[in-house]
Structure 1
Amino acid sequence: MKRCAANQLFFSAVFLFFSFSVFAQEAETKPGSSAQELADKLANPVASLISVPLQNNLSYGIGPFNGSKYTINIQPVIPFKLTENLNLITRYILPVVDQRDITGENTHQFGLSDATVTAFFAPKTKGLIFGFGPAFLVPTATEKLLGTEKFGVGPSVLLMHQGKGLSVGFIANQIWSVAGNEDRADFNSFYTQIFLSHSYKSGASLGVNAEITQNWEGNTTLISLNPSIGAVTKLGDQVVQFAVMPLIPVLGPHEIKPDWGLRAVVAFVFPGS
């Protein structure tokens, strides 16, 4: 069967989002920090805030064999204070993948894919916010067909404007492979996410983002448009953000573009400096 146990975990995450959103309350990490302020910080990729998002992605109708893929991205964000006016924001993405009928009919792969690590040097500013630094591709895949077997590096950049309740901007990186298995294809990929979100006093938020991935080596472009709804709440003393969004494919070759997708995010939030 194409529907595996991992898919059940995805739909459980969606169910949890709707269940807890109904009972959402104003979460506070410290005195004076409202749920809306926290939602705005979470919309800022270089905010000095520790968070551990679990991003669940489910895609169907991929390639000639109508394949399916479930990916949970473990995405901790850890800030470091370098000076009074400069932070280093480190972001990690470790994907766990369960896919069927992607590489061929009646095929199945499960395991870790390659990790991506970015480090943003982010001056403390208000209004116009920016960050820059290196991005790394780390070959952590546990199966050959889930990774590149390449180590890569390149630049990353963030530019956004943020006011109370409104965040708009983009984040991007370009990574080239510099070492690894010489028998595997080189890695040369550009990724950007353009985002817009609006938060409310309750901690709820509405937004939309466009994700663009350009594989220069394979000469393919993949674009998706992703409207979202989110909420900040508390589970006991733990501050949590939930979000859910359809993944609407806009452009891409048939072999990699899904017919449809869905994403649910559960982010555990901890106060930063």
Structure 2
Amino acid sequence: MSSWKLLFTSLTLSASTSLCAAQPGGNDAQANNPLANMTAFNMQNYYIGDVSGTDKDANQFWLRFAKPFSVDDSNWILRASLPVNTYPTPPDGGHKTGLGDVNLFASWLIDTGNPAVSFGFGPQITAPTATDNALGTEKWSAGLVNVLFNASSPKFQYGYLASWQHSFAGDGHRDDVNLGTFQPFMFYQLGGGTYLRAAPIWVYNFQNDSYSVPLGVGIGQVIKQGSTVYNFFVEPQGSVADHGPGQPRWQVFAGLNLQFN
């Protein structure tokens, strides 16, 4: 599997779900909690201006839906993510656009004893739903996800999303998927619904020992209209360390997240 396909696989687990709940810390403090007990629909985009080893740009647009549910006395969050990928296609030098591989994960919410601290973990699965073999892995993959979000302070919230997945079925002629990601995230409230943010995804590809470590700072705005919360944000990111072809040298992460009461 091409390096940039693994790069886009890693972006399936972006934590910026913007689920705004009536929890300790206030609405602004909870506006980026990926484990909040609310239904959400998100539209997020990564524009990668320079993909290493290709001299080309790339893009990935995400549609995401999150829904809380309960099993007996356990609370869970289910999230489905579907990408629209635009990949460089060497050696012809062009691009191809279409649907990528769909990702599902369910996170079991653990009682931390502090209502301002959310902690969850659970399984994930990625299905080979790409409309073209150049736009996906052609592999079934499964693994684990672990999320922490701390909103104890109304001014500064932080946490992480860690994940790992490995292919277990699919096209035998394609490379296996064996991918780990770690996404630290920090949000600093400026007041009036405006906040500063940093939520890069650090990727390590165990299959070929390539990696990507971007960093960046962005800005967002939370607006409530009736029963819907709108969260707009943009976050430029640049690479501080990377190895191997197909890594983002710089990218812009932007989106609109909707939460429904």
Shorter-normalised TM range: 0.7 to 0.9
Separation in structure 2 between the aligned mates of residue 184 and residue 93 of structure 1, nearest angstrom: 23
**Which residue identity lines up with residue 138 of structure 1 in the other structure?**
A
Do structure 1's residue 143 and structure 2's residue 132 form an aligned pair? yes
**Which residue identity lines up with residue 56 of structure 1 in the other structure?**
N
Extract unaligned runs of 5+ from structure 2.
1-19
Q: Which residue is equivalent to 1:14?
A: none
Q: 1:75 aligns with which of 59, 64, 70?
A: 64
**TM superposition shift of 1:184:** 0.9
Q: Which residue is equivalent to 1:39?
A: 28
**TM superposition shift of 1:151:** 0.6
RMSD: 2.3
Report which stretch shifted further, 255-264 or 146-155: 255-264
**TM superposition shift of 1:133:** 0.4
SS in 2 for 1:61: strand
Q: Which residue is equivalent to 2:79?
A: 91
Do structure 1's residue 113 and structure 2's residue 109 form an aligned pair? no
Q: Which residue is equivalent to 1:128?
A: 117
**Which residue identity lines up with residue 244 of structure 1 in the other structure?**
V
**TM superposition shift of 1:87:** 1.6
**TM superposition shift of 1:139:** 0.8
**TM superposition shift of 1:236:** 7.0
Q: 1:188 aligns with which of 178, 181, 200?
A: 178
Do structure 1's residue 242 and structure 2's residue 229 form an aligned pair? no
**Which residue identity lines up with residue 118 of structure 1 in the other structure?**
F
Q: How does 1:2-81 map to 2 (within 5 A)?
A: 37-81=26-70
Residues 21-71 of structure 1: CA distance to partner in whole angstroms, max 9, x if unpaired? Answer: xxxxxxxx99xx59x723332321111011111111111122344111121
Separation in structure 2 between the aligned mates of residue 239 and residue 127 of structure 1, nearest angstrom: 20
Separation in structure 1 between the aligned mates of residue 194 and residue 148 of structure 2, nearest angstrom: 23
**TM superposition shift of 1:105:** 4.1
Residues 194-231 of structure 1: CA distance to partner in whole angstroms, max 9, x if unpaired? Answer: 11112244222112133111110121111111312111
SS in 2 for 1:38: helix
| Contact in 1 for aligned 2:31/2:222 (Cα 8 Å) | no
Do structure 1's residue 197 and structure 2's residue 184 form an aligned pair? no
Change (3 A) 1:238 1:48: closer
**Which residue identity lines up with residue 216 of structure 1 in the other structure?**
F
| Contact in 1 for aligned 2:185/2:197 (Cα 8 Å) | yes
SS in 2 for 1:97: strand
Q: Which residue is equivalent to 1:13?
A: none
**TM superposition shift of 1:145:** 1.1
Q: Which residue is equivalent to 2:207?
A: 217
SS in 2 for 1:39: helix
| Structure exhibiting the larger radius of gyration computed from Cα positions | 1
Change (3 A) 1:64 1:74: same
After TM superposition, the score normalised by the length of structure 2 is 0.83
Separation in structure 1 between the aligned mates of residue 165 and residue 81 of structure 2, nearest angstrom: 14
Separation in structure 2 between the aligned mates of residue 263 and residue 225 of structure 1, nearest angstrom: 11
| Contact in 1 for aligned 2:197/2:219 (Cα 8 Å) | yes
Change (3 A) 1:39 1:83: farther
After TM superposition, the score normalised by the length of structure 1 is 0.79
Do structure 1's residue 257 and structure 2's residue 247 form an aligned pair? yes
Separation in structure 1 between the aligned mates of residue 214 and residue 255 of structure 2, nearest angstrom: 17
| Contact in 2 for aligned 1:59/1:70 (Cα 8 Å) | yes
**Which residue identity lines up with residue 120 of structure 1 in the other structure?**
S
Residues 79-134 of structure 1: CA distance to partner in whole angstroms, max 9, x if unpaired? Answer: 113356x321012221101234x433422211011122111000354233210100
